[in-house]
A and B are shown apart, each in its own frame.
Chain A
Amino acid sequence: MSRSYLFIPGNNPNMLQNLDVFNADAVIIDFEDSVISYDKDCARDLVENFLKKYNFENLEIYIRINDFESNDFLKDVQSTLDLNINGYVLPKAMPESIDDLNKLIGTKGKTIIPIIESPLALLFVREIASKDNLHGILLGAEDFTKELNVPRTLEASEIFYARSIISIACNAFNIDSIDTPFTNTDDISNLRVDSLKAKQLGFTSKSSIHPNHVETINQVFAPSKSEIENALRIVTKAKTELKGAFSLDGKMVDLPIIKKAEKTIETAKKYNLL
């Protein structure tokens, strides 16, 4: 599980060669929106040469390929299948396009992060989440609200249902739920508010289009100090209790709560918070 997923333009050497300095848990090298159609071949050659030359440990690397119906989809996949990446971010995902990408991946050991960015895709989210080889699902709110013909707002009420159902589907199938990027690059205060809203709905992570957002996202999606302390108390008491359920601070603690506390401790350890 990663907290932050940072998009890096695939045809920008300056950003590429610094991709490990932004402290994101995962980076998504972009072949889609940030690369103009004339330069898609440039981006493929640049990323291929870059990833053959440099190796990044402790950093998950994904490539956002062009969508299934574009002329670049196949070229994007074929040119990167043998590179040292974790997988692909698939735009405009539908169940069939995930199946087709999985066929191309074969035994190459790459995972898929579909982007839900249309109302139709949202109706298929349960089927999408159940597909093989998924690492997570990413909500693409800009395209989603464009199709719904509603404006994006700071309150984000227009994506409340989409966030809720994606988070639930991901949780049910034990994959990452990755929130949509916050598009105002300078408004860190509202980035925090937006991130907390997503976390409250169950999201495990958030994507970002600007390195300035990574620190806040990492803070929000890591367990807080009080969450870690509480988890430690639950796990400690669980070890001494003979009963399946017990009381702590007047609240009942049973197996699901103990498991959740163990997961919190595991996450805290992963991010050196313990």
Chain B
Amino acid sequence: MKSAGSLESSDCLITVSYNKDKNNTVNIESIVFDQFGEQIFEVINKSLQELNIKNVNVLCQDKGALDYTIKARLATALKRLEGENNE
């Protein structure tokens, strides 16, 4: 399990782990879930597709992050997870 980001305003904390069932799961906790939950979900799923990743659990704890921040934090968390796997 690896994380990236923070719980500060305009940021998000993304935590990723491998999914043994070989599919992706995405959970979102957001202060703006009602307004932007679907958009956050889309950003994460699109990023996973672009990276061709099909076996991770993603938890996004959002504090009002914009799309670029979510994408960046996800990318870092995944690289850290991959690094952990290679250690």
Contacts and interface: CB of A to CB of B under 8 A. Distances in A.
A41 B79 contact: yes
Interface residues of B, number: 18
B80 A41 contact: yes
B70 to A, nearest CB: 9
A14 B72 CA distance: 14
Size category of the A interface is 10 to 19
Contact of A13 (B69, B76, B80): B69
B30 to A, nearest CB: 15
Given A42-B76, A49-B75, A14 B11 contact: yes
B72 A46 contact: yes
A50 B79 contact: no
Given A42-B76, A49-B71, A52-B68, 8 more contacts: A12-B11, A13-B10, A13-B66, A13-B69, A14-B9, A45-B73, A45-B79, A46-B72
A53 interface: yes
A54 B69 CA distance: 12
Interface string B37-79: 0000000000000000000000000000111110111011001
Residue in B10, B68, B75 with the greatest tally of chain A CB atoms within 10 Å = B68
B66 A17 contact: yes
A119 to B, nearest CB: 38
Given A13-B65, A14-B9, A17-B10, A48 B72 contact: yes
Nearest to B47: A49
Contacts of B73: 42, 45-46
Contacts of A17: 10, 66
A46 B80 contact: no
Contacts of A12: 8, 11
